Structures are given as C-alpha cells and as structure tokens.
Amino acid sequence: MNGAESLLQTLAGAGAEVCFANPGTTEMPLVAALDASPHVRAILGLFEGVCTGAADGYARMSGRPALTLLHLGPGFANGIANLHNDRRAGSPVVNLIGDQATWHQAADAPLSSDIASLARPVGWVEEVRSAADLAKAGARAWQACFGPPGRPASLVVPADCQWEDAAGPAGAPLLPPRPGPAAEATAGAARALQGGKRSFLLLGANALGKQGLTAARRIADRSGCSVLVETFAARIERGRDLPDFPRLPYFPEQASQNLAGARVVVLAGAVDPVAFFGYPGQSSRLVATGTAVLPLASPGEDAAAALEAVALELGARASAPAPDPPRPLPATGALGVRALGQTLAALQPDHAIVVDEAATSGLAYHAFASGAGPHSLLQLTGGAIGQGLPCAVGAAVACPDRKVIAFQADGSGLYTLQSLWTMAREGLDVVIVICANRAYRILQAELGRAGVAAPGPKAQALTSLANPDIDWVALARGFGVPASRTDTAEGFAEALRRALAAAGPSLIEARIG
C-alpha cells in the first residue's frame, strides 16, 4: 500500500463519500488511489472554483465534509474564492493539494509555490513530509475541518509521499462535539429579551433550522422581543409552515435603522453585525454605541438548543402557529424582478433546495417565498461571487432526491460557468434560472450611493454586460444542458414548469426588462 492509498482509505473510513477533483501531474497517485476506494465518488470539475464551491454546497446539505483534489498552489489559488465562502458558511471541507516531491522542491520548478501561505487564511493547513505520516495527517485534517465551527482543512501532499510505501490507514479520528448552551448564558439571554421591542434576537448558523426558528417564535411571543435573521445565511429553512423573520438589510444605513433604539442584541448563531463595506461618515458596526451585545451561542455552538433552553427559561410554551401566508400565484405580463420572484415562489416544488445568488434580481423572491412550500435556502455567505452554480452542484450530489434550483445572476454566474458541464456529466437534478439583466446592477447602485449621478462612458462600460449580449442558451447547450429563453412572466412560468417536470439539469435564461 502506498501513501495515497493509505490516505484515501483513512478518509473513507472516517466518512468521506465524494471528492470534487481537478487534478494534475502531482496528484496522479491520488487519482489512482480513488480507483481503489469504491466508497468515494470522484466528480470532475473543469475549474477549481467549481470543486471548492461544490464541496461547500455538499457540506451545507449533508452536514458532512466533501474532499477536493487540487493541483499545487496555482490550482488551489483558483479555488480560494469559494473556500472563503466555505469558511464564512462554517462548512467542513478537506482539501487535498498535491505538491512537488520533497526532494524536488529546492529546484524551484515553474509550478512551485508556498502553498501553506495561500491556504492559511481560509482555514487549517498541514504540510506532509513523509508517506508514513500521510494517513495520520488525513485523520487530523478530517478532525480539524469540523472546528467548531466548520471550516476548510487543507493537506499539502508532496508527490513522493503519495507514491512511497506506507503501513496502512489510520484509525477514525475523534470528532469534537458541538458545544451546547451554558446555563449562565441562557439565563442572561432570557432576562435581556424580556425588554420587549427594544430587545433584539439575531439568528444565524443552525438557529435557522426548524427547531431554532420555532423556538425563536416562542421566545418572541412570550417576551415581545424583535427577531432578525443574519443577512446571508449558509442555510435557512423556509416556507409557509415556518416562522418568517425579516433579514437584517444589506445596506448599512438600513440595517442600522432596523436596530435603532435597541437596548440589547442577543446573538444566537450570529456574530456582532458589521457593514459589508466602509462608507464615509458611517460606523463599521451596525449596532449603535451603548447597545449591549450579548452572545448566547456562537456559530460553532448549538444555537438551536440554546434557543430552546431560553424558551424553557421564559416558560414559553408552543404557540399557536401563525396563519399561513397566501401561496403566491404565477405572475403575468412583462418579466421584471417582481414577476420573476413571484412565479418562482409559486411553482417551486415542496422540499426544493434554492441556491440564491440572484443578487439584486432576487430581492422580490424572498417576500413571496414565505408562502411557498417547505424548502431550504442557501445564500452567498462570504460575498465572493461565483458561488451559486458550484454550490448547486454540491447540494444536488448531497440530496439526489430533492429538486435543486440555482437562482443565479448573470454576472456572477459567468465566474463558474463550467459547473454546467459537471451538472450534465453527473445528471444532476438542477434547474438553473439565469436572471439576465445584462448588468452588474449592484455596482450601478453603488455608483449612485457614491454620489455619481451621471456615470461617464468608462463607468457605464465597467458595469454593463451588453454589447455583445451574452447568449446563455448557447452556452448551456455547449456544455450539454438543455436551455430556453423567455422575456415574459407567462413564458417563464411555462419554461419553469417544463424544467421542473424533467429529470437532470436544464437552464432558463430569464431576460429581465
């Protein structure tokens, strides 16, 4: 048995079931070892950002790590943006990164680089130095990726450590338990939240599952506190049978206004909120000076259990369910963002997984989707665009019995367009809805916020995706994905019904006026 085989057997024994891979020469022993690992499914991504984003989507929906197999420093660097999103989502991922043979590293060959320095900002990293230690290093990486909170764990594996002899696989690693609620924090949060509307409860991480959401509603009913959801959630369960709390707005002045007058903000799976960017004359923190911020549970702790404990502390019994919001009906007429969101919410099947990277085009959808059937919503956690299509790949691999809808802005979708080929090759059940407004609309909004009322020709060119228009139907078909185009609400409803009824991937280019 060589080092690569000992590593793959160790990871398979720990629970690894899938490897999203874009390998090169220095990973050939690991590629061969995958053939000897029948329980690990190997899935090729044509770009490393597809692999790392797919591992994120898989982890969000399964709760288990996926492996990625990446080629040296440049290959890993191609995947860093979605590893940044992985880390912000708390997703456990194990990256296997090939490196030059140990005795060849001093030669400074063209593809050589300091891989550890690239990997360290996005999570845990270890450089292997011998085949004998490779299996144990794999066990350490598997253990490290769980955190808490979950995170990428990167193992740098020189080629000779893969091909040289090894003793055998290591034993399964012990996994750290997710910490439960502390009695002192529970009692303090219960007291703080009894301040009525001036007390806020901010939810994130696993507080956004069914248990956490229903406990938060009981707390709000009993105490009168206000409840908000973090702006971009790794995963939130939604639908007409669940509480629908408002999201903390994206723009900082709106978020600060939502929190204005707060006496205390209790964090359940969320972090102290800050603005996405710094703006002149505005504070980084969204909570006003003088407002107490009280951590109940960090993103790595069991926030759902902590909320349940607070509800019990308050004596909050199960409340009568709120009236179901009306189920939306498909829209008619021109296809704008409101009609698009209304129609998608009306037609999406129960238990769908909606991966939302629709950006400005998706704003109307969220209000309508509260009346849809039960579904899981995955969002862009770290702000590095190009996450949506790969995340949909991973979600579909993790949950082959559920329909996945990739609700995707056209600009960010182009970052990881290669995901379509992987969807087609693997026969993944994904419906891609491209919101084709032919612009970086959020940047146009930011220009206005920066006081640029009349952008010049260069600014206009740098925020436009027109001239030439991008043909998403041709692109999808080129990757083997059936596709159609529409610019009316009725046409979108018809195309969506057809796509949802079919198996395998399909794409709808929704041209928004």
Phi, psi (rounded to 5 degrees) for 323:
-55, 135
DSSP 198-263: GEEEEE-GGGGSHHHHHHHHHHHHHH--EEEE-SS-S-EEESTTS--PPBPPSSHHHHHHHTTT-S
Please give the DSSP secondary-structure letter assigned to residue 496. Answer: H
Is 79 strand, coil or helix?
A: coil
Statement: residue 322 has pLDDT above 80: no
Q: Are residues 217 and 129 in the same domain?
A: no
Model pLDDT for residues 341-395, shown as the tens digit of each residue: 999 999 999 999 999 999 999 999 999 999 999 999 999 999 999 999 999 999 9
What's the confidence (pLDDT) of residue 197? 82
Question: Using an 8 Å Cβ cutoff, are 113 and 148 in contact?
Answer: no
Please give the DSSP secondary-structure letter assigned to residue 481. Answer: -
Per-residue tokens: 261: 């007058």
Share of the chain above pLDDT 70, in %: 100
Closest by CA to 142, choosing from 234, 9, 48, is: 9
Model pLDDT for residues 110-136, shown as the tens digit of each residue: 999 999 999 999 999 999 999 999 999
Residue 87 pLDDT level (bands cut at 50, 70, 90): very high
| 128 inside domain | yes
Q: Are residues 374 and 291 in the same domain?
A: no
Q: Are residues 450 and 351 in the same domain?
A: yes
| 427 inside domain | yes
CB neighbours (10 Å) of residue 345? 27
- Please give the order of strands across the beta sheet that includes 124-127: 41-44, 18-22, 66-71, 93-99, 152-158, 124-127
Burial of 372 (0-12, 13-18, 19+ CB in 10 A): buried
Q: Are residues 431 and 475 in the same domain?
A: yes
Q: Are residues 345 and 454 in the same domain?
A: yes
* Angle (nearest 5°) at CA 268 between 364 and 257: 50
Residue 137 pLDDT level (bands cut at 50, 70, 90): very high
Q: Which of 313, 328, 363 delimits the end of a domain?
A: 313
| 318 inside domain | no
Q: Are residues 479 and 443 in the same domain?
A: yes
| 149 inside domain | yes
| 324 inside domain | no
| 437 inside domain | yes
Q: Are residues 188 and 124 in the same domain?
A: no
Model pLDDT for residues 58-84, shown as the tens digit of each residue: 999 999 999 999 999 999 999 999 999
Residue 325 pLDDT level (bands cut at 50, 70, 90): confident
Q: Are residues 303 and 412 in the same domain?
A: no
Quote the domain boundaries for residue 158. 3-163
Mean pLDDT for 133-153 is: 97
Closest by CA to 126, choosing from 156, 93, 149, 83, is: 156
Q: Which of 298, 313, 328 delimits the end of a domain?
A: 313
Q: How far apart are CA 84 and CA 501, in angstroms?
A: 35
Q: Are residues 220 and 192 in the same domain?
A: yes
Q: How many domains does the chain have?
A: 3
What's the confidence (pLDDT) of residue 180? 80
Q: CA distances (Å), 447 to each of 70, 118, 416, 462, in order?
A: 37, 32, 26, 11
Question: What CATH number is given to the structural domain containing 143?
Answer: 3.40.50.970
Statement: residue 7 has pLDDT above 90: yes
Q: Are residues 20 and 102 in the same domain?
A: yes
| 170 inside domain | no
Model pLDDT for residues 439-475, shown as the tens digit of each residue: 888 888 888 888 888 899 999 899 988 999 999 999 9
| 54 inside domain | yes
Q: Are residues 468 and 383 in the same domain?
A: yes
- Which phi-psi region, left, alpha or beta, contains residue 42 (left: φ > 0; alpha: ψ -120 to 50)? beta
Question: What CATH number is given to the structural domain containing 227?
Answer: 3.40.50.1220
Q: Are residues 307 and 418 in the same domain?
A: no
